[in-house]
């Protein structure tokens, strides 16, 4: 699984270089394109990443102008992250990446769905 993951992520690199994102930044932006605003804890749960990984990555995304980090007005211990208009614009530049990766994989649509379902099932089991 590790070798496959590494090779798949390597295939993303040229496309992500074009939009100045790392793979981790890209998957975070995919969440923000859908959710618009999340707490650090919620983002970590969605991406299966801890705050030690998320904090520097989010600082970098914020320095690029794609997200804005603020403390919650209800509880200052909670860090809220929101996508910015520039972050929304990035979605258009990234829209073809999943199609390009799917074409590279040479898996049928059905095989991709099966793989997705099996990986999610395994992930739920190992993170119980």
Sign of the torsion formed by the C-alpha atoms of 117, 122, 125 and 128: negative
Please state the domain extents for the chain. Answer: 2-95
Q: For every one of its 128 residues, what pLDDT tens digit does the chain have, with 9 covering 90 and above? A: 999 999 999 999 999 999 999 999 999 999 999 999 999 999 999 999 999 999 999 999 999 999 999 998 888 899 999 999 999 999 999 999 999 999 999 999 899 999 999 999 999 999 88
* pTM attached to this predicted model: 0.91
CATH class of 2-95: mainly alpha
Sheet containing 67-71: which strands, arranged edge to edge? 37-39, 79-83, 67-71
């Amino acid at each position: 699984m590790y070798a496959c993951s590494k090779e798949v992520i390597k295939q993303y690199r040229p496309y992500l270089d074009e939009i100045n994102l790392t793979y981790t930044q890209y998957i975070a932006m995919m969440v923000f394109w859908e959710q618009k605003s999340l707490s650090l804890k919620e983002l970590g749960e969605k991406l299966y990443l801890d705050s030690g990984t998320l904090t520097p990555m989010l600082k970098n995304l914020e320095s690029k102008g794609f997200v804005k980090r603020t403390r919650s007005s209800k509880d200052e211990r909670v860090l809220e992250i929101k996508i910015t208009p520039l972050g929304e614009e990035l979605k258009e530049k990234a829209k073809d990446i999943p199609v390009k990766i799917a074409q590279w994989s040479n898996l049928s649509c059905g095989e991709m769905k099966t793989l997705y379902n099996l990986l999610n099932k395994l992930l739920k089991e190992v993170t119980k």
